[in-house]
Amino acid sequence: MRVIMLGGTRFIGRAITGALAAAGHAVLVAHRGITEPAGLRGVEHLHAEREAWPSRRAAFDAFAADAAVDVSAGNGPDARAALAALPPGIQLVALSSIDVYRAYEALHGSRQTDPVPLTEESPTSAGSSRHCAGSGSAAPGCPSGQAVSWGAGSTPATSPGRCSAPWAAAGPPGSA
């Protein structure tokens, strides 16, 4: 299989990239070029900032990928840049980070609030303005009267049954 990794040199992306390469898959890693981990022999690299990826569409197309995995989209503009760069109709898996969980906020405060490892049942940051805001129809897992926030710089929480909204080609509601 031919797979484009969007991100893929650090954290979970590095593990996925390594596993794909070790299994014999052809991998193209699109990243900024800041981190070049050892041990990724045979993996192709495309160095560019995410916002420049659409201008590199020909390179993505030339790789002739069967699928793509995005481990580095941090917000709506990041997701739109990936969608504009990738071939139409490609199978895409987009992964989100743990920042939807309450334990993530505690980590930055140097305290532990929840047992680890985290699971889908772990408490979320439902009260955080990054994930729930405003009024209207409540999203599952959000406080009453709060809905998913797609504000500038925010990302949707994507855990099933939580304060969630799926990534879509059109972007956040009302952004078209």
**Beta-carbon contacts of residue 57 (< 8 Å; ≥ 6 apart):** 84, 85
Which tokens hold the place of 43?
């993996």
Query: pLDDT at position 53, please?
Result: 96
* Strand pairing class (26-31; 44-47): parallel
Say what the pLDDT of residue 99 is: 65
**Beta pairing, strands 91-94 & 67-70:** parallel
What is the pLDDT, as a whole number, of residue 97?
62
If DSSP codes are grouped into helix, strand and coil, which group holds residue 93?
strand
List phi, psi (to 5°) of 124.
Answer: -100, 175
Residue 35: predicted pLDDT: 81
Per-residue pLDDT of the chain (176 residues; tens, 9 = 90+): 999 999 988 878 888 999 999 999 999 999 998 888 888 888 999 999 999 999 999 999 999 999 999 998 877 788 899 999 999 999 999 886 656 677 777 766 777 888 777 777 777 775 443 443 333 333 444 444 333 333 333 333 333 333 333 333 333 333 33
Residue-level pLDDT at 126: 56
CATH domain 2-94 topology: Rossmann fold (3.40.50)
SS3 call for 137: coil
Task: Say what the pLDDT of residue 167 is.
Answer: 32
Domain boundaries, the chain: 2-94
- Which residue shows structure tokens 């408490």? 123
Whole-angstrom distance, CA of residue 47 vs CA of residue 135: 41
